[in-house]
């Protein structure tokens, strides 16, 4: 065996060890990479829309739910809502009462005497436009999809009405439209926001409790809202990466 | 007021606690209960047939062909309740031509077609090929012509080609067993993978579906086997019947153990959703779960079949008890599907209240329509037994 051959073999072993080691190390850091870059979003280039909801400002007027129905032609029957308001009443004994008669459109009546109430507040709900949305995942034909701006939409000409998405949404935001017979939900007023307007519910809110904005724009109202408040999302354990951020969200809220 | 809105208005008065406003419209009705029920019968019947073919349980031979034809009859109907339940039934084919592969539901069409075309049709064809050729020669008129068409022009029944039939049929059955598991385990996954619904979301769901499928399929074939012999006024092969009952008992015990494990696990872990599920089980599902699914559908059959394993009763009593057990099991598994599908929609995802479900008698989602989808497969089975009577198959030539 010549010296040359031994050298070659040594080099081969060294190279092989390097490649194997490199693969091992890069394989190991893979999962950490995701954590390191968790802030990097899918739609990094264009706008990436979301919504902030300030529960400390909401007065439960129901204007948002009503305006949404008018703007989007949602059935006026009290069983279908793209957005609605819930009233939470925590009694002195710790009991939590929740109600949302007609989605809050007709306003709320407090059933309990003030002396029994520990705290009462309102929670507007809507599609969370999840970055990792279960409804998009389960749609068998791809009729539900993410727009490039991070808005979850339904193609009404494509939906087969299997209702799997309705089952998959943890927040109860979907329903089968009684007139068009397809899955329906909040579009973040896509037709408005793409033309530079605000979603209808944001537009009509008398207290400015709903903050619409671009998460990719450091100067947007929404980014400012997120910076200034200790926000929470609904059901974080669902790991849906919801893009509706609540300020003042209490643990009682479901 | 439109009937649907009137129905929802009525349901609104039955809401208990708080539900999200959109949840009043219960989305999956009795038709979706039938879907896992029917596919389960198919998978179970096929697994019983494969016991004979692959696992060489020769004593089950008289049920082999009946089990295959039963599986076929129900499989032909399996998609009907699904498609008719769609809000846009005319678009059903989209699921086949543009499937969205992240969806657990998207490949059902393919799994179904695979099972129908590759497994069941092929296996039945190989099993009947020789008879079809002989029948096409013996039978005059239109029926003979049908047999001729069914031979697909392959008329070779030389010993060599029959040997190939046997080999290929065997291969199809071997592929068929995992396919049957896939077909029904997959249906279980459609429910088990919905993380938003704690009543469905359990990793055991596909496994429980497979075992409950075996339970219901074996019970169905047992009943069909008894009915066929009764109608033909033939003495039933008791050894075969006893063996089916033994397998039914084993499947029941396994299924019961798995379901028990699932419940014990839920109770012990007692997660966030535990309270609402506890209320669900003890309230809205009391009768359908404790009485029908576990009591009459499982425990009573286990006790009866277990008793018959230890104490041999007379033939007549055994037959009556087997028939009663078969019916109880079929009803019990129906309620198992009911408790999964309907039960999973009765509580709000807010975990703060319940909605109600009312089954109407008429209408496309009504009780009568559901009954139709259960009777049609039996009619198909009667037709198949008339066209391809297993008892008229030609005795296999000696090697």
Do residues A18 and A55 share a domain?
no
Chains A, B: CB contacts under 8 A, how many? 136
B27 CB within 8 Å of a chain A CB? yes
Question: Which residues in chain A touch residue B348, judged by CB atoms under 8 angstroms apart?
Answer: 172
Q: Does residue A175 sit within a domain? A: yes
Q: How many helices (H) and strands (E) in chain B?
A: 15, 2
Please indicate whether, in this complex, the C-beta atoms of A175 and B25 are within 8 angstroms of each other. yes
Rounded to the nearest angstrom, the minimum Cα separation between B270 and chain A is 16
Tokens matching residue B87: 């809000």
The reported pLDDT for the residue numbered A25 is 52
Same domain, A4 and A65: no
Q: Answer yes or no: do B350 and A100 touch at CB < 8 A.
A: no
Residue A17 is encoded by which pair of tokens? 């060890």
Cβ contacts of A170 on chain B, cutoff 8 Å? 195-196, 349
Tell me whether residue A17 is in a domain. yes
In a mutagenesis test of the B interface, which of A78, A104, A125, A138 is the best target, namely the one with the most B β-carbons within 10 Å? A138
Tens of pLDDT, residue by residue over A196-227, are 999 999 999 999 999 999 999 999 999 999 99
Q: Measured between CB atoms, does B383 come within 8 Å of chain A?
A: no
Q: Chain A within 8 Å of B6 (Cβ-Cβ)?
A: no
Query: Are residues A1 and A71 located together in one domain of the fold?
Result: no
* ipTM of this complex: 0.93
Determine the distance in angstroms separating the CA of A191 from the nearest CA of chain B, rounded to an integer.
23
| Number of domains chain A contains | 2
- The rounded distance, in Å, linking the Cα atoms of A211 and B218 is 59
For B210, phi then psi, to 5°, come to -65, -45
Question: Does domain B30-244+362-392 bear CATH number 1.10.150?
Answer: no
Q: How far apart are CA B207 and CA B184, in angstroms?
A: 9
**Strand A210-214 relative to strand A49-54, pairing:** antiparallel
Selection from B171, B203, B39 nearest residue B111 by Cα: B39
| In a domain? residue A11 | yes
Which chain A residue is nearest to residue B3, measuring alpha carbons? A178
What are the sequence ranges of the domains in chain B? 30-244+362-392
pTM: 0.91
Provide the pLDDT for residue A6.
Answer: 59
Is B241 in a helix, a strand, or coil? helix
Reference B182, options B166, B206, B202; nearest CA is B206
Question: Are A199 and A240 within one domain?
Answer: yes
Q: Do residues B345 and B268 touch, judged by C-beta distance below 8 A?
A: no
Q: Are residues A54 and A30 in the same domain?
A: no
Whether residues A21 and A69 fall in one domain: no
Residue A60: give its domain's CATH number. Answer: 3.30.70.20
Could you tell me what percent of chain B has a pLDDT over 70?
Answer: 99
Please report the pLDDT score of residue B385 as a whole number: 97
Mean pLDDT of B182-197: 94
Q: Which residues of chain A have pLDDT under 50?
A: 1, 29-40
Whether residue B196 and residue A99 make contact (CB cut-off 8 A), yes or no, is no
Per residue in B91-148, pLDDT (tens digit) is 999 999 999 999 999 988 899 999 988 899 999 999 999 999 999 999 999 999 999 9
Q: What is the CA radius of gyration of chain B?
A: 23
Q: Which domain holds residue A188?
A: 49-77+126-132+169-247
pLDDT in the model for residue A26: 52
Residue B2: what pLDDT? 83
Residue A56 lies in a domain: yes
Give CA A246 to chain center in angstroms.
Answer: 11
| Joined tokens for residue A226 | 């997120």
Establish if B22 touches chain A: CB-CB under 8 angstroms. yes
Contacts of A81 in chain B (CB under 8 A): 21-22
Q: Is residue A157 part of a domain?
A: no
Residue A39's pLDDT is 44
The average confidence (pLDDT) of chain B is 94
Q: Tell me if A172 and B25 make a contact (CB, 8 A cut-off).
A: no
Does some domain include residue A230?
yes
Which pLDDT score, from 0 to 100, does residue B117 have?
85
Q: Where are the extended beta strands (E) located within chain B? A: 16-17, 353-354
Nearest chain B residue to A171, by CA = B349
pLDDT in tens, B348-394: 999 999 999 999 898 888 999 999 999 999 999 999 999 999 999 98
């Amino acid at each position: 065996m010549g010296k040359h051959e031994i050298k070659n073999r040594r080099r081969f072993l060294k190279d092989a060890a390097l490649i194997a080691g490199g693969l091992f190390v890069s394989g190991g850091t893979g999962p950490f990479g995701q954590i390191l870059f968790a802030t990097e979003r899918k739609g990094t280039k264009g706008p990436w829309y979301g919504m902030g909801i300030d529960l400390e400002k909401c007065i439960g007027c129901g204007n948002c739910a009503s305006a949404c129905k008018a703007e989007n032609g949602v059935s006026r029957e009290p069983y279908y809502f793209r957005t609605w308001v819930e009233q939470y009443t925590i009694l002195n004994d710790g009991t939590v009462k929740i109600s949302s008669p007609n989605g809050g459109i007709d306003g709320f009546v407090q059933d309990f005497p003030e002396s029994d109430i520990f705290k009462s507040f309102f929670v507007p709900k809507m599609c969370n436009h999840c970055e990792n949305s279960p409804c998009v995942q389960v749609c068998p034909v791809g009729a539900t999809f993410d727009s490039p701006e991070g808005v979850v939409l339904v193609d009404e000409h494509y939906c087969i009405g299997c209702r799997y998405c309705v089952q998959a949404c943890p927040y109860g935001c979907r329903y089968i439209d009684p007139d068009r017979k397809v899955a329906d939900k909040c579009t973040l007023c896509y037709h408005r926001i793409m033309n530079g307007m605000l979603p209808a519910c944001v537009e009509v809110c008398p207290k400015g409790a709903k903050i619409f904005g671009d998460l990719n724009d450091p100067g947007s109202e929404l980014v400012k809202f997120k910076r200034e408040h200790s926000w929470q999302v609904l059901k974080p354990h669902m790991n849906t990466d919801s893009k509706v951020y609540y300020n003042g969200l209490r643990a009682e809220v479901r | 007021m439109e009937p649907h809105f009137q129905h929802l208005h009525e349901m609104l008065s039955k809401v208990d606690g708080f539900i999200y406003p959109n949840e009043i419209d219960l989305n999956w009705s009795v038709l979706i209960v039938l879907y896992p029920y029917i596919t389960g019968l198919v998978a179970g019947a096929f697994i019983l047939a494969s016991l004979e073919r692959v696992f060489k349980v020769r004593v089950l031979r008289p049920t082999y062909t009946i089990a295959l034809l039963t599986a076929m009859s129900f499989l032909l109907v399996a998609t009907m309740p699904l498609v008719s339940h769609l809000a846009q039934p005319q678009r059903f084919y989209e699921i086949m031509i543009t499937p969205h592969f992240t969806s657990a539901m998207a490949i059902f069409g393919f799994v179904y077609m695979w099972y129908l075309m590759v497994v069941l049709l092929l296996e039945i064809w190989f099993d009947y090929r020789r008879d079809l050729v002989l029948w096409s020669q013996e039978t005059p008129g239109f029926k003979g012509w049908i047999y001729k068409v069914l031979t697909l022009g392959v008329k070779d029944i030389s010993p060599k080609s029959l040997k190939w039939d046997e080999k290929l049929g065997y291969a199809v059955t071997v592929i068929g067993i995992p396919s049957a598991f896939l077909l029904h385990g997959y249906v279980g996954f459609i429910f088990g993978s919905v993380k938003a619904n704690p009543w469905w979301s359990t990793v055991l769901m596909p496994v429980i579906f497979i075992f409950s499928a075996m339970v219901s399929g074996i019970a169905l074939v047992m009943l069909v086997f008894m009915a066929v012999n009764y109608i033909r006024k033939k003495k039933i092969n008791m050894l075969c019947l006893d063996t089916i009952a033994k397998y039914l008992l084993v499947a029941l015990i396994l299924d019961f153990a798995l379901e028990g494990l699932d419940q014990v696990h839920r109770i012990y872990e007692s997660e966030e959703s535990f309270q609402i599920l506890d209320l669900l089980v003890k309230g809205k599902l009391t009768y359908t779960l404790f009485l029908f699914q576990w009591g009459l559908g499982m425990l009573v059959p286990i006790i009866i079949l277990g008793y018959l394993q230890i104490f041999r009763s007379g033939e007549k009593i055994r037959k009556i008890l087997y028939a009663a057990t078969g019916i109880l099991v079929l009803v019990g598994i129906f309620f198992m599907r009911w408790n999964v599908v309907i039960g999973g929609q009765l509580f709000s995802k807010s975990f703060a209240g319940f909605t109600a479900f009312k089954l109407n008698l008429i209408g496309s989602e009504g009780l009568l329509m559901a009954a139709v989808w259960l009777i049609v497969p039996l009619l198909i089975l009667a037709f198949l037994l008339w066209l391809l009577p297993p008892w008229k198959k030609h005795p296999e030539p000696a090697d």
